Chain A
Amino acid sequence: MNSLKRIIIFGATSAIAEQTARQLVARGASLFCVGRDSSKLDAVVHDLQVRASSEQRVDGKAADLLDVSHHESLLDAAEDFLGGVDAVLIAHGTLPDQKACEASFEQTRKEIDTNATSVISLLTLLANRFERQRSGVIAVVSSVAGDRGRQSNYVYGAAKGMVSIFLQGLRNRLARSNVSVVTIKPGFVDTPMTAGMDKSGPLWAKPEQVAEGIVKAMTKGSGDVYLPWFWYWIMLIIRHIPEFIFKRMSL
Chain B
Amino acid sequence: MKSPLSWNRIPRVQPDKIHRLGYRQATLPQESWPLLAYGNGRSYGDVCLTESGTLLLTRGLDRFMAFDRHSGVLRCESGVTLADILALVVPQGWFLPSTPGTRYVTVGGALANDVHGKNHHVVGTFGHHVRRFGLLRSSGERMECAPDRHEDYFRATIGGLGLTGLIEWVELQLMPIQSPWMWVESRRFGNLEEFWSLNRDAETKWSYTVAWIDCLASGSKRGRGIFLAGQHAPPQANLPSFKERSRRMAIDPPVSLINHLSLRAFNALYYRQPVNPCGALQHYQSYFYPLDTIQDWNRIYGRKGFFQYQCVLPPSVAQDGVAELLNTIAASGQGSFLAVLKTFGEKPSLGMLSFPRPGTTLALDFSNHGEATLRLLDSLDAILREAGGTLYPAKDARMPADLFQSGFPEWERFADYIDPAFSSRFWRRVTS
B375 at the interface (CB under 8 A from A): no
A47 at the interface (CB under 8 A from B): yes
Q: Is the CB of A46 within 8 A of B23?
A: no
Stretch at the interface among B61-69, B190-198, B303-311: B61-69
Q: How far is the CA of A40 from the CA of B25 in the complex (A)?
A: 8
Shortest Cβ distance from residue A188 to the other chain B in the assembled complex, whole angstroms: 14
Q: Which residue of A lies closest to B169 (CB)?
A: A43
Q: Is the CB of B64 within 8 A of A39?
A: no
What A residues does B67 contact at CB under 8 A? 50
Q: Is the CB of B23 within 8 A of A50?
A: no
Q: Is the CB of A50 within 8 A of B65?
A: yes
Q: Is the CB of B1 within 8 A of A40?
A: no
A2-34 interface (Cβ within 8 A of B): 13, 15
What B residues does A43 contact at CB under 8 A? 23-24, 63, 65, 77
Q: How far is the CA of A40 from the CA of B2 in the complex (A)?
A: 28
Q: Is the CB of B23 within 8 A of A39?
A: yes
A192 at the interface (CB under 8 A from B): yes
Return the contact of A51 from the options B1, B77, B88 (Cβ within 8 A).
B88
A44 at the interface (CB under 8 A from B): yes
A194-227 interface (Cβ within 8 A of B): 195, 198-200
What B residues does A192 contact at CB under 8 A? 20, 22, 60
Q: How far is the CA of A55 from the CA of B315 in the complex (A)?
A: 53
- A39-B23, A40-B23, A51-B88 are contacts. A46–B63 as well, Cβ < 8 Å? yes
Interface centre among B2, B23, B63, B88 (most CB of A within 10 A): B63
What B residues does A39 contact at CB under 8 A? 23, 25
Q: Is the CB of A195 within 8 A of B63?
A: no
Q: Which residue of B lies closest to A26 (CB)?
A: B87
Q: How far is the CA of A50 from the CA of B67 in the complex (A)?
A: 6
Q: Is the CB of A51 within 8 A of B64?
A: yes
Q: Is the CB of A47 within 8 A of B20?
A: no
What B residues does A50 contact at CB under 8 A? 64-67, 88
Shortest Cβ distance from residue B260 to the other chain A in the assembled complex, whole angstroms: 37
Shortest Cβ distance from residue A137 to the other chain B in the assembled complex, whole angstroms: 26
- A39-B23, A40-B23, A192-B20 are contacts. A199–B1 as well, Cβ < 8 Å? yes
Q: Is the CB of B1 within 8 A of A46?
A: no
Shortest Cβ distance from residue A87 to the other chain B in the assembled complex, whole angstroms: 23
What B residues does A47 contact at CB under 8 A? 63-65
Q: Which residue of A lies closest to B84 (CB)?
A: A51
Q: Is the CB of A44 within 8 A of B63?
A: yes
Shortest Cβ distance from residue A12 to the other chain B in the assembled complex, whole angstroms: 12
Shortest Cβ distance from residue A11 to the other chain B in the assembled complex, whole angstroms: 14
B16-54 interface (Cβ within 8 A of A): 20, 22-25
Shortest Cβ distance from residue A84 to the other chain B in the assembled complex, whole angstroms: 27
Q: How far is the CA of A237 from the CA of B126 in the complex (A)?
A: 54
Q: Is the CB of A46 within 8 A of B66?
A: yes
Q: Which residue of A lies closest to B19 (CB)?
A: A195
Shortest Cβ distance from residue B66 to the other chain A in the assembled complex, whole angstroms: 7
What B residues does A51 contact at CB under 8 A? 64, 88
Q: How far is the CA of A46 from the CA of B24 in the complex (A)?
A: 13
Shortest Cβ distance from residue B151 to the other chain A in the assembled complex, whole angstroms: 28
Q: Is the CB of A198 within 8 A of B1?
A: yes
Q: Is the CB of B64 within 8 A of A46?
A: yes
Q: How far is the CA of A44 from the CA of B23 in the complex (A)?
A: 9
Interface centre among B22, B24, B67 (most CB of A within 10 A): B22
Shortest Cβ distance from residue B418 to the other chain A in the assembled complex, whole angstroms: 28
Q: How far is the CA of A15 from the CA of B23 in the complex (A)?
A: 11
Q: How far is the CA of A50 from the CA of B25 in the complex (A)?
A: 20
Q: Is the CB of B2 within 8 A of A200?
A: yes
Shortest Cβ distance from residue B147 to the other chain A in the assembled complex, whole angstroms: 24
Shortest Cβ distance from residue B248 to the other chain A in the assembled complex, whole angstroms: 16
What A residues does B25 contact at CB under 8 A? 39-40
Taken residue by residue from 180 to 195, chain A's Cβ proximity to chain B (1 for < 8 Å, 0 otherwise) reads as 0000000000001001
Q: How far is the CA of A194 from the CA of B67 in the complex (A)?
A: 32
Q: Which residue of B lies closest to A18 (CB)?
A: B63
A39-64 interface (Cβ within 8 A of B): 39-40, 43-44, 46-47, 50-51
Shortest Cβ distance from residue A239 to the other chain B in the assembled complex, whole angstroms: 31
Shortest Cβ distance from residue B185 to the other chain A in the assembled complex, whole angstroms: 36
Taken residue by residue from 66 to 78, chain B's Cβ proximity to chain A (1 for < 8 Å, 0 otherwise) reads as 1100000000010
Shortest Cβ distance from residue B249 to the other chain A in the assembled complex, whole angstroms: 19
Q: How far is the CA of A59 from the CA of B68 in the complex (A)?
A: 18
What B residues does A15 contact at CB under 8 A? 22
Taken residue by residue from 1 to 21, chain B's Cβ proximity to chain A (1 for < 8 Å, 0 otherwise) reads as 110000000000000000010
Interface residues of B (CB under 8 A from A): 1-2, 20, 22-25, 60, 63-67, 77, 88
* Contact sample, A vs B, 17 pairs, CB 8 Å cutoff: A15-B22, A39-B23, A40-B23, A43-B23, A43-B63, A46-B64, A46-B66, A47-B63, A50-B64, A50-B67, A51-B64, A51-B88, A192-B20, A195-B20, A198-B1, A199-B1, A200-B1
Closest 4 CB pairs of A and B: A47-B63, A50-B64, A50-B67, A47-B64
Interface residues of A (CB under 8 A from B): 13, 15, 39-40, 43-44, 46-47, 50-51, 192, 195, 198-200
4 more A-B residue pairs beyond the given contacts A50-B88, A192-B20, with a C-beta to C-beta distance below 8 A: A43-B65, A50-B64, A192-B22, A200-B1
